[in-house]
Amino acid sequence: MKNIPDFHKWKADGKPITMVTCYDAATAKILNATKVDTILVGDSCAMVVHGFDSTVHATVEMLATHTAAVRRGAPDKVIVADLPFLSNRKGIDVAMDAVDQLMKAGANAVKLERRKGNIQLVEHIVDSGVPVMGHLGLTPQSVNEFGGFKMQGKSDAAARVLVEDAQMLEQAGCFSVVLECIPADVASKVTAALHIPTIGIGCGPSVSGQVLVINDLLGMDADFQPRFARKYDNLSERIAAAVNQYCADAQRLEFPAAGEYSASLAKSAR
């Protein structure tokens, strides 16, 4: 099994890191048998799985449930679980209780979006033996402040703040930092300023690794095609075709066919 110290080795060896966001046991079981280095149980589950319009609706219980499911499906993978919106802003005891729930659900580490004032909390979580992945740039929990899912770090001043924030997260003990939707040259500067790896989404190639949400990678939503997400399949179409085929077969009485059911009690008992 890969582990958190591997992240340092991968950065030192120049090996690009791969991470996929996943939410359920069935998909995690498939991922467990792939080469992907790590699985993120992201708070994007509030949007992707539960249909909310932002990650603000994710809760610790929601994340813990999905983390436990992913752990059951992927016993061999490093699992990082997101600390949801405000779960780490209600005092240290509440924050540590959230961390505890996610770790007990099966996470190996937690991910936390950088906000002013949470460096001490990162230190405390790390000092408690829980690896922390930072998150900078378009941190979706701040969507209301940003006025939408908009690229961040576009001005020189904002880029400087990103580099400083990343260095603070590293000094606080983070083992890696996710960079989301910032210009590629800024992501490159942040990556160069750190010893720990950066994992990018919508940040170009000059990072230490990439992360994609499994639903985006598989093309599960025909209406969602952000520029940064490459569709490696078109499952929304293929699933719809399979379901329509099943409906047609059932309506023509071609499903179930001989061999797909037991003709008599005597046979079914065998």
Residue 216 touching ligand KIV (CB under 6 A): no
Residue 21 touching ligand KIV (CB under 6 A): yes
Q: How far is the CB of 61 from ligand KIV (least distance, A)?
A: 16
Nearer to ligand KIV, 44 or 87 (CB): 44
Among 164, 170, 180, 237, the one annotated catalytic = 180
Residue 62 touching ligand KIV (CB under 6 A): no
Tell me the per-residue interface mask from 169 to 188 with ligand KIV, x by CB under 6 A, - otherwise: ---------x-x--------
Residue 80 touching ligand KIV (CB under 6 A): no
What does the block give as tokens for 99? Answer: 């961390």
**Closest of 59, 49, 54, 42 to residue 101, by C-alpha:** 59
Residue 40 touching ligand KIV (CB under 6 A): yes
Nearer to ligand KIV, 99 or 213 (CB): 213
Nearer to ligand KIV, 16 or 255 (CB): 16
CA distances 67 to 22, 63, 167, Å, are 9, 6, 28
Nearer to ligand KIV, 183 or 250 (CB): 183
Q: Which residues pair with 185 in a beta bridge?
A: none
Residue 209 touching ligand KIV (CB under 6 A): no
Q: For residue 150, with 0-12 CB atoms within 10 Å meaning exposed, 13-18 middle and 19 or more buried, which class applies?
A: exposed
Q: Alpha-carbon distance 32 to 122, whole Å?
A: 29
**Closest of 190, 181, 141, 202 to residue 161, by C-alpha:** 190
Give 187's DSSP letter: H
**By the 8 A CB rule, do 173 and 132 touch?**
yes
Q: How far is the CB of 228 from ligand KIV (least distance, A)?
A: 10
Q: Alpha-carbon distance 158 to 137, whole Å?
A: 9
Nearer to ligand KIV, 24 or 255 (CB): 24
> Binder to ligand KIV among 82, 98, 203, 219 (CB under 6 A)?
82
260 as an active site residue: the answer is: no
Per CB under 6 A, the segment of 25-33, 42-50, 141-149, 229-237 that binds ligand KIV is: 42-50
**By the 8 A CB rule, do 170 and 194 touch?**
yes
> Binder to ligand KIV among 78, 194, 211, 214 (CB under 6 A)?
211
CA distances 216 to 23, 76, 229, 264, Å, are 13, 23, 6, 45
Q: Which residue has the tokens 């990556």?
A: 191
Q: For residue 265, with 0-12 CB atoms within 10 Å meaning exposed, 13-18 middle and 19 or more buried, which class applies?
A: exposed
- Give the footprint of ligand KIV on residues 132-161 (CB under 6 A): none
Residue 79 touching ligand KIV (CB under 6 A): no
Q: Which residues bind ligand KIV (CB under 6 A)?
A: 21, 40, 42-44, 82, 178, 180, 201, 211, 213
Enzyme catalytic residues = 180
